[in-house]
């Protein structure tokens, strides 16, 4: 006891947390962050929509303030993310007449974006999620049928890695995705990564988002995933960890009348057991795992409060709404 997360894991990997510029200005939360964590990820501030709202205009303020906080307090920063099908700016895929741009134009825009964003924080951001969620959830295809894909085919993926590597050759470059523990999706992610590795694309690591639930993944699924990606010579990080107290659901929906949304002792217990299990695996495979980042600080705010079920509070983190450590916290720090 008395040991904080980052201390407990000193000999394993950095422990990170997703933040906004606002979170860092709140004294109680920033104090907790500095006590427990040694790495941060901007939750939204570096995504293309927020940071590059118009073709010739960047909005640096929030990203800059997060990076300045990290520099001041000696925290690592993971950059998130450079190429994604969500939170993209309106202008990106269209020309002035509202028509979809050509592959050439889109790749030039991607290059300019990556050069500017990665270049600005060169030496201050040690790892980048270069491509996020490009693999399909649907077993009939390898890649998601996004506008990136419709316009560029699969080339946007290797180009994104190339551009990022050109501008910051020291940065560790990630492919990042969710549900990578599920055998079918894991297989597709593996196929994509294998192609990239075989083609000598500068991809160094894979991010398991780890938006998990108390009953998913199983330890075998998790271990199989870590080993499978490691077999390609890639490092693995857990990039967006949270463990929902509800079963996983695919579709966005509203709350059903009478739905049980209580955070019961049973739910808290199952969650603690799941946290315990996954951290045992992380420690055992520390040779491959180079970082673990939580997606938000405490149950006071989590993106799962509105996703996938609108109006259902969730409690997926190690600290409660009063920023106090939960059962799961003690299982994670004491081993």
Which whole-number Å values give the CA distances from 218 to 178, 214, 224, 332, in the listed order? 15, 10, 10, 17
- Taking the least distance from each CB to ligand XIL, the nearer of 77 and 333 is 77
Quote the least distance from Cβ 26 to ligand XIL, whole Å.
Answer: 16
Quote the least distance from Cβ 309 to ligand XIL, whole Å.
Answer: 14
| String marking each residue 58-87 x if it binds ligand XIL according to CB under 6 A | ------------------------------
What sign for the dihedral angle of Cα 157, 230, 133, 81? Answer: negative
240 is catalytic: yes
Strands 235-244 and 289-294: parallel
- 106-109-114-119 Cα dihedral, nearest 10 degrees: 160
Residue 23 lies near ligand XIL (rule: CB under 6 A): no
* Cα distance between residue 177 and residue 174, in whole Å: 10
* Cα distance between residue 335 and residue 331, in whole Å: 7
Residue 248 lies near ligand XIL (rule: CB under 6 A): no
- Taking the least distance from each CB to ligand XIL, the nearer of 160 and 272 is 160
Quote the least distance from Cβ 51 to ligand XIL, whole Å.
Answer: 13
Token pair for 72: 């001041």
- Taking the least distance from each CB to ligand XIL, the nearer of 108 and 252 is 252
Quote the least distance from Cβ 209 to ligand XIL, whole Å.
Answer: 5
Residues contacting ligand XIL: total by CB under 6 A: 6
Task: Report the residue from 209, 213, 244, 298 that binds ligand XIL according to the rule CB under 6 A.
Answer: 209
Task: Report the residue from 44, 116, 162, 290 that binds ligand XIL according to the rule CB under 6 A.
Answer: 44
Residue 29 lies near ligand XIL (rule: CB under 6 A): no
Q: Whose CA is closest to 36, among 291, 245, 325?
A: 325
- Taking the least distance from each CB to ligand XIL, the nearer of 4 and 207 is 207
Catalytic residue among 240, 249, 266, 268: 240
| String marking each residue 169-198 x if it binds ligand XIL according to CB under 6 A | ------------------------------
Q: Does an H or E element contain 110, and which?
A: helix 103-120
Q: Where are the beta strands (DSSP E) in the chain?
A: 15-19, 39-42, 76-83, 127-132, 172-177, 205-208, 211-213, 235-244, 253-254, 289-294, 309-310
φ, ψ of residue 19 to 5 degrees: the values are -135, 160
Residue 132 lies near ligand XIL (rule: CB under 6 A): yes
Query: Restricting to residues 261-320, which ones interact with ligand XIL according to CB under 6 A?
Result: 303
Question: Given the rule CB under 6 A, which residues bind ligand XIL?
Answer: 43-44, 132, 209, 240, 303
């Amino acid at each position: 006891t008395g040991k904080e997360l980052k201390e407990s894991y000193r000999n394993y990997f950095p422990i990170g947390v997703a933040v906004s510029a606002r979170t860092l200005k709140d004294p109680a939360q920033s104090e907790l962050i500095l006590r427990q964590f040694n790495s941060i990820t901007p939750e939204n501030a570096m995504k293309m929509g927020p940071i590059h709202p118009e073709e010739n205009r960047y909005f640096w303020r929030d990203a800059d303030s997060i990076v300045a906080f990290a520099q001041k307090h000696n925290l690592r920063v993971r950059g998130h993310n450079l190429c994604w099908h969500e939170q993209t700016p309106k202008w990106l895929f269209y020309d002035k007449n509202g028509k979809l741009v050509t592959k050439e134009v889109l790749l030039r825009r991607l290059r300019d974006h990556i050069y500017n964003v990665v270049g600005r924080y060169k030496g201050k951001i040690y790892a980048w999620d270069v491509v996020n969620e490009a693999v399909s959830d649907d077993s009939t295809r390898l890649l998601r049928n996004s506008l990136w894909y419709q316009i560029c085919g699969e080339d946007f993926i290797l180009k994104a890695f190339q551009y990022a590597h050109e501008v910051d050759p020291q940065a560790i470059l990630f492919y990042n995705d969710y549900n990578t523990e599920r055998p079918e999706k894991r297989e597709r992610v593996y196929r994509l990564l294998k192609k990239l590795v075989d083609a000598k694309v500068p991809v160094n690591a894979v991010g398991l988002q780890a938006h998990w639930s108390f009953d998913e993944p199983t330890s075998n699924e998790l271990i199989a995933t870590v080993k499978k990606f490691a077999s390609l010579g890639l490092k693995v990080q857990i990039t967006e960890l949270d463990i929902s107290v509800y079963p996983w659901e695919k579709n966005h929906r509203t709350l059903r009348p009478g739905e049980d949304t209580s955070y019961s002792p049973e739910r808290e217990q199952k969650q603690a057991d799941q946290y315990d299990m996954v951290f045992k695996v992380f420690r055992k495979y520390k040779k491959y795992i180079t970082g673990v980042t939580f997606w938000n600080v405490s149950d006071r705010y989590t993106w799962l409060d509105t996703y996938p079920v609108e109006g259902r509070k969730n409690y997926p983190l190690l600290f409660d709404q009063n920023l106090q450590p939960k059962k799961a916290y003690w299982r994670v720090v004491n081993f």
